[in-house]
Structure 1
Amino acid sequence: MLGKKGWRLLKFETSLVGRVFKAKYYPHSSFLDAKLGCNPSYVWRSILETQTLLKRGARWRIGDGRSISVVEHPWLTDMQNPCIITHNEDLRGMTVDQLFKICVRAWNENVIDSLFVTRDRRAIYDVMKEKVAKISVVCWNIWRARNEVIWNNRNVRAGNVVSVAVAYLSQWQDVQKKRKVTSHMPNSSPGNIERWTKPERGCVKINCDAALFTSTSQFGVAWVVRNDKGDLIYANCRCFVGKPESHYAEAVSIREALSWAKDAIDSREESNDPDLQLRFVVESDC
């Protein structure tokens, strides 16, 4: 409970309680930099005990960078150590905005390359990459939600657009990390890796899968359709609310894949196109 109080002081500085504590104990800084001070109250002593805990998990999000200390604040995307490790007297008192180009919110490569060690340079450049990635995936999901409304008459809650987009990005990043780890594993020889195989000639293969997001009480399904040449024909994914068992989520992914196959067959019959392949193979890992 005290940790939640400390988090609220950090996040909601303009609230009535936040303004009172800030005015008395940390008028020129944030809760993460606050000190015990003179004649502190029992409540303040108790809340301040959670500061160390919050520092372990808290990260600064880069805006204009004016209030973020380059050396003292955790603002990098490195989960193991989000702080700068470079020891350079020129960095003392410097804020993140001083690393930007003049009048442009973009890194000044000359300044960064001259002041920081290799590890910090890479971590700093990753901050902007992460920000651009989030903006891109949110814009993509906004467009996708718009298409759902226009073409499928399916309303998407505005609050879910961002959360689902961030979940997609997190999943994709996790997959990339796993691929890097697998590529360096001693037993990751080509014979030990399961690879996609083409269907028989004249067939279409549908690969489907599901993922559980327990933190948001959601699960997602996706399916990819490829022909006997390995060419991509169609791909889609959907998100549902709930916390089902894994086998149920996999069953939903198969259902959605079969539903697409049925629609494809109906479209073929309506168009009288004899060249459209009708034989489907559905493949899942359940």
Structure 2
Amino acid sequence: MEAWVLDTCMSSMLPYWEQGWHLVTNPNGLVARIFKAKYFPNDSFLSAKLGASPSFVWRSVLAAQHILRQGLGRRVGDGNSVQILNEPWLPSIDNPYVSTESTDIEGHTVSMLMAPNERKWDEDLVKHLFTQRDVNLILATPLSDNIEDSWYWRKEKSGNFSVKTAEAESTSHVLLDCSFARCCWEIVEVSTDDTPHTSFTEWALNVFDKWDATKRQIGAMLCWTIWNCRNNLIWNQKSTEVQEAVYSARMVLSQWKEAQDRFFDKSWGLLNPDDGDELWSPPNENKTKINTDAAVFEASNRYSFAFAARNHKGELIEARSSCKEGCITPECAEAMGIREALSWIKDEQLKDVVVETDCLVAVQAIRGREAMSSYFGILIQDCRNLLKEVKNKGVYLKFVKRSANNLAHAFASCSYSVADRIWRTNEVSQDIIHVLEQDLK
């Protein structure tokens, strides 16, 4: 049988995606200055053209430009170097650009939209200048002290670019559209043309919903095998025949099914042995437990976050909630809730406190050491800094299941229209009292 191999174009593109990233984020570097002087002296890399007598390297780097345009974003610090118009600074995956058309904002930087001498939005000015869509996104953009304007990669929660994140842009080609992948799917009697798609994720969601369990398993394993074949070609220069790839997928699937009958430990990255409680339990005597949660109300373009502090008897000490306007990702709202709880602990000078949240992404990010350049990363860094400040006072962050976080969830959910509120035992509703009682059963 003829040996079909994966298209090799991606193997030559990988280093240039990364090089393009460095041209944007490190414009003062030696390589960036050389390219700029020759190919785009009066523009940025993102608006550069091929130019006259381009070298092979420049052609390759420029070919990756459209990939970078799709994922690059501007993270606002002081806003002095970020233009309001024509820069991707809004926290939106679909369209990070301001859509409002107004001469009042032309030529101005984002710093114009902040309150004088403060790192917070001038809400009245924002609402006066922008359409509702832009207002929601601007007010949902986190601001933090001592953060500079910078670039980040919008395709990752961390905001950090890697070759792997850029590769995701071509996942559909590798797994579905290239000749090698098409032949693999034909052998298992799947036509990739039957389901229209603009991305691999869209295709997978559509077909997996229609397939039975057996077909889902071989489909997932075949995707994994095709990707491995692609890596083997790029990194080891070894091609794979279609029949061999499909046989390998079926063999690995068989071995995986066998392994499911044996006991093995699951490893959760950056989690501790006491993480994952399914039921709430009171803290030890003379200690405090604080639960945090958030809620996103998409229909009204609002979000809220809350925390509730209780003593060793399960009695409510204090709860605080805040509801704000804007479109925000759930993990950002959750991180805001954690930050608010840690700030309260610091202000109240509390000791021996356990802070619990059901947001696994936030806990892993806070415990990790990776520098994060996204808006989510700003909030995570604030949480890290606050934890360092109260660490010697016995403050500890813990992940719990949703079922162990009912009280904080109730406070966040009922804060739909109240900007900021402080709750104490004699001020809560019967629904909240019921949750307090249930947690003690």
Q: What TM-score do you get using the length of structure 1 for normalisation?
A: 0.47
Report which structure shows greater RCO (CA 8 Å, sep ≥6): 2
After TM superposition, the score normalised by the length of structure 2 is 0.32
